[in-house]
A and B are shown apart, each in its own frame.
Chain A
C-alpha cells in the first residue's frame, strides 16, 4: 500500500490541473462575462464545506461511543474529527473569500446580512471555535468537549444549505436543483464536475495526511506522559 499515497497525490494534481484548464476554457457567460468563472471554485469549495462537517460529526459520535469501550479506536475517531474540522475551516474560508470577491464585483458590495451568508459565516465561526477549544482548553476533557460542540455545529449545515430555498434574499437561488429556470449550460458541466471531483480528492488527501499526523502526535503525547509518570514513581521511591 506504499504506492497508494503517491498515486492519489499524482491523480489529484492531474485532476486539479484539468479542473483549472476546464474553468479557464469554458465559454463566457452572457451576463457576467469572465467573472462567472469564480463559480468553478466557489461552488466546489462551498458544497464540500457542507460535506466535511458530517465527517467531523460522525467521528465525534464515534468518539463519544468508543471512549468508554475502546480507547485506541476512540483516539482514532478523535484524530479524524480534528482533521475534518480543520479542512472544514479551510474550505469554508475559501467559500467565504471567493463569495465576497464575486459579490463585490457582481453586486457592488462585499457583504450582505442575508440568510445564506449569515448562516455560512456562523458555520465558519462554529468550526473556528471548535479548533480554538481544542487548542486552548486545559485538562483531559478536550476531546469530549470538542465532540459535543461538533455535534451542535453540524446542525447549522442543513440550515445553511437550505437557506437559499427557505428565504429568498441577496444570494442567488440554487443553480442545481433550484427549479425549471435553474441550471447551467451543458458546455459548462465539465468545468464544474472536474473541479468538484478534484477538490474532493484534495480534501480527502489532506484529511488523510492530517489524520496520520494527529495519530502520531497522540501516541507521542501518551508516551511522553507515561515517561513522566514513570519518572515520578522513581522520585517517590528514591525519596
Chain B
C-alpha cells in the first residue's frame, strides 16, 4: 500500500496525478473541440435541396 508520509511517497502520488490530470485535461478539451467541430461539419455539409417538383404538380 502506497502511503503519503515521506517526500518520495508524496512525489510518487504527485507524479501519477500529473499524468492523469494532464492527459485527461487534454482529453476533455479535445472532447469540447469535437463537439464544436460538429457545428463546423454541419455548416459545411451540402445543403439539402427541396425535392424537384414536376411543373405539372406545382
Contact = CB atoms under 8 A, between A and B. Distances in A.
A116 interface: no
Interface in B9-42: 9-12, 14-16, 18-19, 22-23, 26-27, 30, 33-34, 36-38, 40-41
B31 to A, nearest CB: 8
B53 interface: no
A55 interface: no
Contact of B40 (A41, A106, A216): A216
Contact of A220 (B7, B9, B18, B44): B44
Contact of A210 (B7, B18, B30, B36): B30
Given A34-B2, A93-B22, A206-B26, A213 B15 contact: no
Given A34-B8, A34-B12, A219-B41, 15 more contacts: A32-B8, A37-B2, A37-B12, A38-B11, A97-B15, A97-B22, A105-B7, A206-B30, A210-B33, A213-B33, A213-B37, A216-B40, A219-B40, A219-B44, A220-B41
A41 B27 CA distance: 17
Contacts of A216: 37-38, 40-41, 44
Secondary structure of the A side of the interface? helix
Nearest to A108: B7
B43 interface: yes
Interface residues of A, number: 32
Contacts of A202: 23
A206 to B, nearest CB: 6
A81 B18 CA distance: 26
Interface residues of B, number: 26
A102 interface: yes
Nearest to A20: B16
Nearest to A209: B30
Contacts, number: 84
28 contacts: A34-B8, A34-B12, A37-B12, A38-B12, A38-B15, A90-B26, A93-B22, A94-B19, A94-B22, A94-B23, A97-B15, A97-B19, A98-B18, A101-B11, A101-B14, A101-B18, A104-B11, A105-B7, A105-B11, A206-B30, A213-B36, A216-B37, A216-B38, A216-B40, A217-B37, A219-B41, A220-B40, A223-B43
Interface in A26-75: 32-35, 37-38, 41-42, 45
